Structure formats: structure tokens, C-alpha cells
Structure 1
Amino acid sequence: MMELPEAVVMTEQINATLKGKKIARVTANHSPHKFAWFFGDPEIYDDLLAGETVEQAAPYGGMVEITAGGAKIVFSEGINLRYFAAGEKLPAKHQLHLEFTDGSSLIGSVQMYGGLWAFPDGAFTNPYYAVAREKPSPLTEEFDYPYFKTLLMGEKVPSLPAKAFLATGQRIPGLGNGALQDILWRARIHPKRKMATLSQEELHILFSAVKSVLVEMVAGGGRDTERDLYGHPGGYQTILSKKTVGGPCPACGTAIQKAAYLGGSIYFCPECQKLR
């Protein structure tokens, strides 16, 4: 599922491939999906977007925003975005199809759930989108340790497990259950460990891991568990994921384990990430 690293990579690829292309027509909700979310009636997307030119794309957390004339198109996590050159075979099922005047296409398809929102600039009030636009990205200098410490404030934070601290509450928009696995491994923190048990040194290490691992994921073109705009898997080799479970930890050789926790899977090394 698209998270912050993939949103950044996808945005760079959209700017390189789609910028300047003119939208010829739009098909929305071609394959109805129970958990595909639209802004208002998807039937009006064509009226809103046809004839507009793609100006730029920007990442906000785990979302990708495209500006086209006076309109915005926002894709949330849970959306597979694919570019197809003119003449390439398109998928039979999709929830949003932008066809350009040169015959190329951008296709958005829902994995499990996701938003494909097209709207006049300024009309969208989704709180997750608003927070993602407002908060600093971990990839920026603004996301420094003093800022990170403000995320630790709040009476409920000490009782949160590390996984919930990183991936819930929009503390770090775009950081989800996928990217956090390698971050916690790098920091040698078990996903179930309570934040109250972390020392000041461990908090500094966790902060550094958030910054460095996300930078590496972006530099690698996204995680190898996800695909980019052209359908290619990312080049960042995940240490803890469905691809590595049961294999040896690269640090100590202990078998990587998987467990169900807080509505998803966690991966960890029981030796390097001891539960204290």
C-alpha cells in the first residue's frame, strides 16, 4: 500500500511523465467498488477535468496531489496508480481513468480502500488531507528532534506501543504499517514496546531511524513490496516484510518473525528487538 516513500517517488514520476499533458476525457467509477471514495458525484469528474492540463504533482504524507487548471486530484493510500503509454493495453477494471490527448493514460485502482478525489481547488475539507498538508514531512529539516519531541506529548502517548505511536493519530502522515517495520528494526525497538519504557537515548535513536530509513526508501525508488507509476517494484530492499519473514535477521541471523497486532501484521527480530 502506498505510504510516504511511494507517494514521493510517484510524485516525481508524475512530474516527469505527465506534466504538460492535456486531459482529453475522464472516466470515474467504471468498476464500482464499495470502498472507493469520491468527491461528490464521480459523474462530474469529466466536466471538471477534461480540457485541463497537468501542471504539477506534490506529495502530502501518503497522498499524491495533482494540480490541473483550477482543479485538484488527490489519491490516497490504497490506490494503485499506473501510467500507460498510447497503445498499451489498459486494465479492464479501474475506478479512475484520465486519458490524455496524446493517447496515454493514468489509471487509479483501489486495492482494499482508498480515495480518488477530484475537486475545485479549495473545496476539499477532508481532515486527513488537511493534516498531511500542514505537518512537516520527515524528509524536511523542519522535522527535527525538537519537533519530534512535541509528538511525544499527550497523556495517552506513554501507554502507546511503538507501532501505534508511529502509525496512528496522524502524528507522522504517510508513515504506515509497512514503512515502520524497518524503522523499528533500525532502532532495535519491538513494535509492541510501550513508549513509556524508552529511554532518552532510545528516543533519539528512534527519531534518527525515522529520518534515515524514509530517506533510504525514497532514494531506492520505494519499497520492494510496492510498485511505482510504471508497474516496477521499488528498489529499496525491505528488511522486515512479507518477503523476508522466516529468513535470517541481517544483524544477528535469528529468524524474522511475524505476528498479528493492532489490526495488521508486525515483523520483528526477537533477538535484536527484545520486548521489555
Structure 2
Amino acid sequence: MLELSESYNIAKQMRDILKDKIVSEVVVLQSPHKFTWIWGEKDSFEELLEGKQVTGANSYGGIIELELEDVRVTFADGAYPRYYDNPKKFPKKSQLLILFDDDTSVGVSVQMYGFIGIFKEGTCKEGYYFGSKAKVSPLSDAFTYEYFKQVYEQSKGKKVSAKAFLGTEQRFPGIGNGTLQDILYQAGLHPRCDMESLSEEEFHRLYTCTYDIVRQMCEEGGRDIEKDLLGNQGGYQTWLSKKTVWTPCTKCGYELRKGSYLGGTIYYCEHCQRE
């Protein structure tokens, strides 16, 4: 799934690789996928995009936004964009294929579920999109300890676990179930840990780990369990993921475990992360 570090790096690659390319053709839902959701009127996609020039790209939380003059193309969750520099490599099945006039393309084959949007700038009304753009990014200078505390204060009065605090209700767009595993591991907190039980020292450590780890993931090209625009694996080596489960914890040597919680898989060390 696209999370903050993947979106950040893919948007950067798009600026480097796609800038100034001109769209020659658009193919939408060449291969239907029942868990692909569309933002915008799909019957107008060709009219909106054909002949447009790529002018930039940005990321907002876990959303990638490709800019083509006054049109925006967005990718979220499992809607991974992939760049192809040879027509022989173009995907035969895709949910979106944008072809450029230099015989290159960007294709999207949705993994599990995903969102694809094509719309005129300023016309998208989706709450998920607005939430991702409006909230303070962990990469921003405005992501201070005071801001982190303020977000938590808005959750007071409700029982909130560490996983729920970091990864739900768009409190921190782009921090999903993958990114938060390493944050909680380094903070010494189990995903089920009740936020109300944290001491001031533990809460500050959680903020510091969030700040540092998200930046490290971005600097190293995304997580090693995900791929970039060119199909290359990210350079950040995850501490807790499907790659490390059942291996010895690097801190204590005990076996890393996995379980299910809040609709997703969690990874943890029962000795180093307190509940």
C-alpha cells in the first residue's frame, strides 16, 4: 500500500522522469477491478488528459498527485503507478494507462484496493483527498511536539490504542499500518498499548520516533516491502514487517511475532514493546 514514504518518493521520481511529457492516449479500466474507486467522471478522462503536458507532481500523505496543466491525476492506497519506457513492456491489463507521445507510459494495476482520480484542479470533493492535503505532514517544520500533543488532546476521553492513534481517522495522513509498525517498535510500545497509559517521557519518545523514522523512510527511498515508480524495492530496511516476522528481535534476541488487530496485521516483540 502507498504510505507517506512511497508517495513522497514516487512523486519525486515523477517530477524527474515525467516532466514535460505530453499525453497522447488514455485507457481507463482496461481490466475492471471491483475494488478500484474512481474520483471524477471516468467518461471525461480522455477529454481531460489527451494533449496535456506534465507540469509537476506532489504527495499529500499517502496520495500521489500528478499535475498536467490544470488537470490532476491522483493515486492512493493500492493504486500503484509504474513507469514504462518501452511499448513492449506496457501492461496488458491495467486500471489506468496513460500513454505519452514519446512511446513511454504510466500504468496502474491496483493491488487489493485503490483510488484513482482525474479531475480539474480544485473540483475534487472527496473527504479523504481534502484531509490528506489539509493536515500537517510529519515532513513539515510545523510537525512539532506541541502539534503532536494537540492532536492527541483531540482524542482524549476515548480509549485509543497506539496503533489507532497513529494510523486511523487521518490524524497523520500517510502513516498507515506499515509505517507505524517501525515507529512503535522503536518507541517500545505494543500496537494495543492504551495511549492514556503513556508517561510524558514515553509520549515524547513516540513523537521523536514518528518524526525521525518517517524522514528516514523518505530519505532511503521508501520501505523495502514496497516498490517505486520504476519497480525497484525501497531502500529502507523495515524492523517489523512480513520480511522480519519469526526472526530474532535485534534488540533482545527473542522471536518477533505477528497477530491481527484493528482490521490488519501487526508485528511486535512481546519483550521490547509494552502493552
Is TM-score (shorter-chain normalized) higher than 0.5?
A: yes
Q: Indicate how the Cα distance of structure 1 residues 104 and 210 shifts in structure 2: closer, same or farther if over 3 A, else same.
A: same
> 1:256 aligned to 2:220?
no
Does the CA-based 8 Å contact 1:71-1:119 persist in structure 2?
A: yes
Aligned CA distance change for structure 1 residues 127 and 6 (closer, same or farther; 3 Å): same
**CA distance, structure 1, for counterparts of residue 196 and residue 2 of structure 2:** 30
Using the TM superposition, give the Cα deviation of residue 90 of structure 1 relative to its aligned residue in structure 2, in angstroms: 1.8
> How far off its partner does 1:155 sit?
5.0
**1:137-152 mapped onto 2 (5 Å cutoff):** 137-152=137-152
Q: State the SS of the aligned residue for 2:47.
A: helix
Contact 1:157 1:165 in 2 (8 A): no
TM-score (norm 1): 0.97
Aligned to 1:245: 245
Aligned counterpart, 2:201: 201
* Letter of the structure 2 residue corresponding to residue 27 of structure 1: V
Does residue 170 of structure 1 match 2:170?
Answer: yes
Corresponding residue for 1:108?
108
Corresponding residue SS for 1:180: helix
Q: 1:154: how far off?
A: 2.9
Partner-residue secondary structure (3-state), 2:92: coil
Deviation at 1:57, TM superposition (A): 0.3
* Contact 1:38–1:117, Cα closer than 8 Å, also in 2: yes
Write the deviation string for residues 125-182 of structure 1: whole angstroms up to 9, x where unpaired: 1111111111111011110011101111235565111001100011000100000000
Which residue matches 1:53? 53
Q: Aligned residue for 2:229?
A: 229
User: Aligned letter for 2:220?
Assistant: G
Look up the match of 2:270.
270
Q: Does structure 1 retain, via aligned residues, the 8 Å contact 2:39–2:126?
A: no
Could you say what the CA RMSD is over the residues aligned between the two structures, in angstroms? 1.1
Instruction: List runs of 5+ in structure 1 lacking aligned partners.
Output: none
Flag the 1:143–1:155 CA change in 2: closer, same or farther, 3 A.
Answer: closer
Contact 1:2 1:78 in 2 (8 A): yes
- Whether contact under 8 Å (1:29, 1:42) holds in the other structure is no
Tell me what 1:189 maps to: 189
Superposed displacement of residue 267, structure 1 = 0.3
Secondary structure in structure 1 of the residue aligned to 2:149: helix
The 5 A counterparts of 1:8-27 are 8-27=8-27
The CA distance in 2 between the partners of 1:145 and 1:215, in whole Å, is 15
Match of 1:68 in 2: 68
C-alpha change, 1:133 and 1:234, in structure 2 (3 Å) is same
Give, as a single letter, the amino acid of the residue that structure 2 aligns with 1:140. Answer: S
Deviations 1:51-84 (A, max 9, x none): 0000000000000011101111111111121000
Does the Cα contact within 8 Å between 2:40 and 2:124 map onto a contact in 1? no
Partner of 1:37: 37
- Counting matched residue pairs gives 275
Alpha-carbon contact 1:83-1:105 (below 8 Å) kept: yes
| Matches of 1:257 and 1:130, distance apart in 2 | 36
Q: Please tell me whether the aligned partners of residues 257 and 270 of structure 1 are also in contact (alpha carbons under 8 angstroms).
A: yes
Distance (Å, rounded) in 2 between the aligned partners of 1:187 and 1:88: 47
2:83 aligned partner: 83
**Once the two structures are aligned, what percentage of the paired residues are identical?**
43
SS of equivalent to 1:58: strand
CA contact (8 A) 1:22 1:51 kept: yes
Deviation at 1:259, TM superposition (A): 0.4
Evaluate the alpha carbon distance shift between residue 223 and residue 157 of structure 1 in structure 2; reply closer, same or farther with a 3 A threshold: farther
TM-score, length of structure 2 as denominator length: 0.97
SS at match of 2:207: helix
Gapped regions of structure 2 (runs ≥ 5): none
Question: Partner of 1:210 in structure 2?
Answer: 210
Q: Deviations over 1:179-226 (max 9, x none)?
A: 000000010001000000001111100000001111111111100100
